[in-house]
Amino acid sequence: MTTTRSSSNRPQGPRSRSTVYGYPRQGPGRQLKKLTEAYWAGRLDADAFLAQTRELRRARWIELRDAGIDEIPSNDFSYYDHVLDTAVMLGALPRRHAPALADAGQSPAARLDRYFALARGNDDAAPLEMTKWFTTNYHYLVPELRPDMEFRLDPTKPLSEFREARELGLTTRPVILGPVSFLLLSKREPGVPGDFQPLSLLGKIICPYLELIRRLFDAGAEWVQFDEPCLVADQPAQVLDAVATAYATLCAEEFRPRLLVATYFDRLGDALPVLADSPVDGIAMDITGPARANIDDLAAIGGIPTKRLVAGVVDGRNVWRTDLAAALSTLGTLLGLAGQVDVSASCSLLHVPLSIEFERQLDPQIAGWLAFARQKLEEIVILTRGLNDGWEAVAGDLQVSAARRATRLASPIVQVDAVRRRAAEAAGLPRTRRSPYAERRIVQRRQLGLPALPTTTIGSFPQTPALRAARAKLRAGELDAAGYEALIEAEIAAVIAEQEAAGLDVLVHGEPERNDMVQYFAEQLDGFLTTAEGWVQSYGTRYVRPPIVVGDVARRGPMTVRWATYAAGRTQKPVKGMLTGPVTMLAWSFVRDDLPRAEVARQVALALRDEVLDLEAAGLRVIQIDEPALRESLPLRNADRAEYLSWAVDAFRLVTSGVRDETQIHTHMCYAEFGDILQALIDMDADVISLEAARSDMAIVTDLARAGYPNDIGPGVWDVHSPRIPTVQEIVDRIHLALKECPADRLWINPDCGLKTRGYAEVRPALANMVAAARAVRAELGLV
């Protein structure tokens, strides 16, 4: 590695400062989850909840301060989601929640309940919709706007958090979702005409933002951060104009803190000159991965000599230790391109676990390769010191960093020759099924003996507290493997019986043995590490522990065959084997940074291909490979999309192309805008694809039909994200909608997604209604 040591004689200029945009909210041991769920269950009253969560915020600030972070954020904390917080702050709430608002008064308990009702719904009003936050596995709540919306600032949250931190002697930088991204991330409130564009509310929404910065200024804020992550996607001129207008207006305010516009997850592209020419005081940019293009783009416009640049050189989305020498060298380059250069992570640290220190079972050498949020703070502080005081001041740290990288690159678990050889040979494997779909479907129909409009589910059945408790006991050594497996068998038998009773056509084993659809496989594959405490917020109080792809991936042995065959042995009906696909395995893991993702995906695909063939050999005639993350991983910039889709589809086909024509391959996807990837869905050539559709009135079926989608489709007829039980009539109506666009002999009837977060009290009647609806439509059409 060659680096220039230019930063030790850095140009005269202000000293650099260390900062972050956000820190994990949950606290050690997922305190926030536990407090919130206790509050919801009535086990904790509002006062206690508020007092204890306040303590959690204090502890986070103290942690940042003690780590040596110079400029500490506030308002990055949230009880549920920061986009919802912004909507509440702006008074941008749908009408169906307005009565609750009016009744709520201003008591803290009433405010909390109203807030959680927006997130989770209540008897009177459905919640806001949840969707993926850019290319991450975090979900935000989608604000709903209408043309006549009157925004009204409620600055309680940012102001009180700012003051709480002040009590610790800290002047924080409030972090707030900026006006343009807020509007772009919102949608129309139900009932609003389709031609309404949320962005048209820009003129109105600026007023509460102006008032907010005045109020924060009065409270003593020196800087405010407005997040505009939407600027890293390709945006039309209209959006870029909106950015210019919005920030010109905000900066024209006389009594205001300085404004930092923060962007992350990719490069700024055309938005860079717009921000550079705007009067904002600082710009925060991602300087990792493809976003390193920001460096050349900055140079091309002559830098931002009058502004502050916050350089996100520490990857906020992955868990590898930063190459400190390389980062310091990058920072040295950036010094010439801005009035001031500060050091940060590429995005909020919300997307990584809290600290590697909690992984006590981990090999210390491997732990040394990893940086979770707390370790990233250390890296940011070291880099800032290096930038200010020269390389010599951090020579020891650079040495440790280099030594850790060296052990990683030389480790026998990182590169496994047999895996490399097999992956290289896989280039020659066919990627197509033996016969085209039109022929496969005939043999599959014949041997599966399914009725028209076959009914099935997406895989998981309720993950009961008893199952989770059993796994916890197994881990703690209070239950042995045999006892645990007996429990899982009993659960599978019960799930099969449930489905027989409901009258479903293609059954599943219910996934009771899986802690998570990604972690479960990662635990059984070489090359993956899993964590004990590496929780990352997925939505609200739900967390995941993303595994870490540390080395070459290979299957040790069959992973699902035991449970799949056990289930198949309990019924005459076909049972669907259930696997998580390669793209989703990568998307919901932290992936190694020393090998192209396409290559890692191919290794995972080969492992899954073996599993598929083992399931087939064991007699499973239907196998589903879930790819719910295929859409969310689509790169934000159009220019990067084709390459991604090409390897993603290739990996799926590598998993599935080895089976006989008789074996029916299903795939499943949820939470997504599929419009951009319709051709990829066709190219995957699954015999059956199930998709989320209930909430969007089956619109996906129209999209697929227009795109000429040729294979079977299972648009979800039951929105499993809501506790509501759909009626038979509602489901019949949805089937009718789907039948307008899809012939009956290619249509399946299933829920939107798995049932793991639901309870049997909902699942039982909803499945019965779903089967009754399918039967009613079959009868009506004279089909059997």
Cα separations in angstroms, 289 against 42, 441, 461, 563, 612: 45, 43, 38, 40, 34
Per the annotation, binding residues for L-homocysteine are 458-460, 511, 626
Name residue 223's beta-bridge partners.
Answer: 258
- Please give the helix or strand (H or E) that residue 305 lies within, else none: strand 304-314
- Give the burial class of 70: count Cβ atoms within 10 A of its Cβ; 0-12 exposed, 13-18 middle, 19 or more buried: middle
Sign, CA torsion 673/675/678/679: negative
Residue with Cβ nearer ligand MET (10 or 758) = 758
Pairwise CA distance, residues 570 & 566, whole Å: 7
Which of 612, 701, 713, 753 touches Zn ion by CB under 5 A? 753
Cα separations in angstroms, 386 against 325, 393, 397: 10, 6, 10
Give the neighbor-by-neighbor strand order of the sheet with 712-715. Answer: 576-580, 622-626, 664-669, 688-691, 712-715
- Work out how close the CB of 659 gets to ligand MET at its nearest, in angstroms, rounded to a whole number: 19
Residue with Cβ nearer ligand 39S (115 or 671) = 671
- Work out how close the CB of 610 gets to ligand MET at its nearest, in angstroms, rounded to a whole number: 20
459, interface contact from Zn ion, ligand MET, ligand 39S, none, CB < 5-8 Å by kind = ligand MET
Which range binds ligand MET by CB under 6 A, 36-44, 241-249, 748-756, 763-771?
Answer: 748-756
Which residues, numbered 616-655, are part of the site for ligand MET (CB under 6 A)? 626, 628
Q: Check residue 43 for interaction with ligand 39S (CB under 6 A).
A: no
652, interface contact from ligand MET, Zn ion, ligand 39S, none, CB < 5-8 Å by kind = none
Which range binds ligand MET by CB under 6 A, 250-258, 412-420, 717-725, 750-758?
Answer: 750-758
Sort strands 282-286 and 304-314 into parallel, antiparallel or unpaired: parallel
Pairwise CA distance, residues 312 & 20, whole Å: 9
Residue with Cβ nearer ligand 39S (406 or 761) = 761
Both tokens of 124, joined, read 């009177």
Which range binds ligand 39S by CB under 6 A, 38-46, 219-227, 271-279, 466-474?
Answer: 466-474
Residue with Cβ nearer ligand 39S (300 or 532) = 532
Q: List helix spans (H) across 657-759.
A: 678-684, 699-706, 728-739
CA 133 to chain centre: 6
Interface mask toward ligand MET for 576-605; x: CB under 6 A: --x---------------------------
Which range binds ligand MET by CB under 6 A, 87-95, 458-466, 520-528, 592-600?
Answer: 458-466
Q: Check residue 458 for interaction with ligand MET (CB under 6 A).
A: yes
Q: Say which residues have a Cβ less than 8 Å from residue 656's Cβ, sequence separation at least 6.
A: 433, 609, 612, 625, 665, 685, 686
Pairwise CA distance, residues 455 & 751, whole Å: 9
Residue with Cβ nearer ligand 39S (397 or 516) = 516
Residue with Cβ nearer ligand 39S (40 or 196) = 40
Q: Check residue 152 for interaction with ligand 39S (CB under 6 A).
A: no
Q: Check residue 510 for interaction with ligand MET (CB under 6 A).
A: no
Sign, CA torsion 334/335/341/343: positive
Going by C-alpha positions, the residue among 688, 736, 683 that lies closest to residue 712 is: 688
Q: Check residue 538 for interaction with ligand 39S (CB under 6 A).
A: yes
Q: Give me the residue label for tokens 């039909």.
A: 705
Interface mask toward ligand MET for 327-366; x: CB under 6 A: ----------------------------------------
Pairwise CA distance, residues 195 & 192, whole Å: 9
Per the annotation, binding residues for Zn(2+) are 668, 670, 683, 692, 753
Phi-psi region of 303 (alpha: psi -120 to 50; beta: other; left: phi over 0): left
Q: Check residue 169 for interaction with ligand 39S (CB under 6 A).
A: no
Which of 193, 194, 412, 465 touches ligand 39S by CB under 6 A? 465
Which residues, numbered 659-718, are part of the site for Zn ion (CB under 5 A)? 670
Per the annotation, binding residues for L-methionine are 458-460, 511, 626
Q: Give me the residue label for tokens 């996807």.
A: 669
Q: How many residues bind ligand MET (CB under 6 A)?
A: 12
Catalytic residue among 97, 139, 351, 721: 721
- Work out how close the CB of 454 gets to ligand MET at its nearest, in angstroms, rounded to a whole number: 17
Which of 25, 570, 653, 756 touches ligand MET by CB under 6 A? 756
Q: Check residue 472 for interaction with ligand 39S (CB under 6 A).
A: yes
Cα separations in angstroms, 185 against 133, 177, 182, 347: 9, 10, 5, 18
Query: Is there a contact between 326 and 388 (Cβ–Cβ < 8 Å)?
Result: no
Which of 7, 78, 225, 460 touches ligand MET by CB under 6 A? 460
Which of 5, 15, 434, 468 touches ligand 39S by CB under 6 A? 468
311, interface contact from ligand MET, ligand 39S, Zn ion, none, CB < 5-8 Å by kind = none
Residue 351 falls in the annotated catalytic set: no
Phi-psi region of 503 (alpha: psi -120 to 50; beta: other; left: phi over 0): left
Which of 382, 670, 700, 747 touches ligand MET by CB under 6 A? 670
Pairwise CA distance, residues 584 & 629, whole Å: 5
Give the orientation angle of helix 46-67 with respect to helix 156-167, to 10 degrees: 60
DSSP 8-state class, residue 96: G
- Work out how close the CB of 514 gets to ligand MET at its nearest, in angstroms, rounded to a whole number: 8
- Give the burial class of 124: count Cβ atoms within 10 A of its Cβ; 0-12 exposed, 13-18 middle, 19 or more buried: exposed
Which range binds ligand 39S by CB under 6 A, 13-21, 200-208, 421-429, 514-522?
Answer: 514-522
Sort strands 173-177 and 223-227 into parallel, antiparallel or unpaired: parallel
Which residues, numbered 114-133, are part of the site for Zn ion (CB under 5 A)? none
Residue with Cβ nearer Zn ion (391 or 671) = 671
287, interface contact from Zn ion, ligand 39S, ligand MET, none, CB < 5-8 Å by kind = none
CA 21 to chain centre: 18
Q: How many residues bind Zn ion (CB under 5 A)?
A: 3
Pairwise CA distance, residues 226 & 283, whole Å: 10
Beta strands in 93-151 (DSSP E): 129-132, 139-142, 144-145
Going by C-alpha positions, the residue among 280, 62, 74, 316 that lies closest to residue 173 is: 74
469, interface contact from ligand 39S, ligand MET, Zn ion, none, CB < 5-8 Å by kind = ligand 39S
Which of 63, 81, 516, 661 touches ligand 39S by CB under 6 A? 516
Going by C-alpha positions, the residue among 405, 469, 516, 453 that lies closest to residue 731 is: 453
- Work out how close the CB of 106 gets to ligand MET at its nearest, in angstroms, rounded to a whole number: 39
Which of 59, 424, 469, 642 touches ligand 39S by CB under 6 A? 469
- Work out how close the CB of 378 gets to Zn ion at its nearest, in angstroms, rounded to a whole number: 37
Both tokens of 722, joined, read 């809501």
Which residues, numbered 359-418, are part of the site for ligand 39S (CB under 6 A)? none
Which of 16, 137, 330, 560 touches ligand 39S by CB under 6 A? 137
Going by C-alpha positions, the residue among 353, 355, 232 that lies closest to residue 287 is: 232
Which residues, numbered 613-652, are part of the site for Zn ion (CB under 5 A)? 628
CA 280 to chain centre: 30
Contact footprint for ligand MET (CB under 6 A): 458-460, 517, 578, 626, 628, 668, 670, 753-754, 756
Contact set with ligand 39S (CB under 6 A): 137, 465, 468-469, 471-472, 515-518, 538, 542-545, 588, 757
- Name the residues that contact Zn ion, by CB under 5 A: 628, 670, 753
Residues with a catalytic annotation lie at: 721
